[in-house]
């Protein structure tokens, strides 16, 4: 699933766009993938699509929205400061989506800080920025625990780095997750 969505993001990014709302609720099946585990596994390839393209903007354009449970701290910071979008924001969100799908846990430690930051944006942007800083610190201290192949765990950890320049590009994620 992650490989298919990484390929979709790589396409968007290559055209100069950023999605800004990658999350499980925005990943859709084009058709029924099958009934058995094997059918579903084979039925996912080419059968997934990334939806909610209303959130997509040109790279560098102002960020106006985010989903705190999946977005990186710098996306909320960009909303506060009126900064532009970057493809690395989507890679982080895809990494958090992968973490959630792999673990079935909703324990992103930054979420409460980013949720609260949204409440302070209009009336107290300095407080909102402080909450973003705390969100970033909570992610830096966090060690996500995941089962599954080491390569998958490693790429997800790289994708959810708090340092955007350390995240792989979407096309690199797709390559790293190719079938071996």
Catalytic residues: 21
**Which of 164, 79, 145 minimizes the C-alpha distance to 107?**
145
**Which of 73, 149, 21 minimizes the C-alpha distance to 5?**
21
Residue 138 CA to its chain's centroid (Å): 17
- Rounded to whole angstroms, the Cα distance separating 167 from 92 reads 7
Task: Provide the 3-class DSSP secondary structure of residue 48.
Answer: strand
């Amino acid at each position: 699933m992650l490989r298919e969505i990484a390929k979709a993001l790589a396409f968007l990014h290559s055209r100069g766009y950023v999605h800004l709302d990658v999350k499980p609720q925005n990943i859709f099946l084009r058709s029924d993938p099958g009934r058995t585990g094997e059918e579903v596994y084979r039925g996912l390839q080419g059968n997934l699509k990334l939806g909610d393209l209303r959130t997509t903007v040109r790279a560098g354009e102002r960020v106006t929205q985010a989903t705190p449970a999946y977005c990186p701290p710098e996306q909320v910071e960009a909303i506060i400061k009126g900064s532009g979008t970057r493809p690395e924001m989507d890679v982080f969100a895809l990494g958090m989506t992968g973490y959630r799908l792999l673990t079935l846990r909703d324990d992103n430690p930054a979420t409460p800080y980013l949720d609260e930051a949204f409440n302070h944006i209009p009336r107290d942007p300095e407080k909102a920025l402080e909450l973003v800083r705390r969100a970033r610190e909570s992610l830096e201290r966090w060690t996500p625990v995941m089962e599954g192949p080491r390569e998958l765990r490693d790429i997800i950890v790289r994708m959810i780095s708090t340092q955007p320049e350390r995240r792989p590009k979407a096309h690199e994620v797709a390559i790293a997750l190719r079938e071996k």
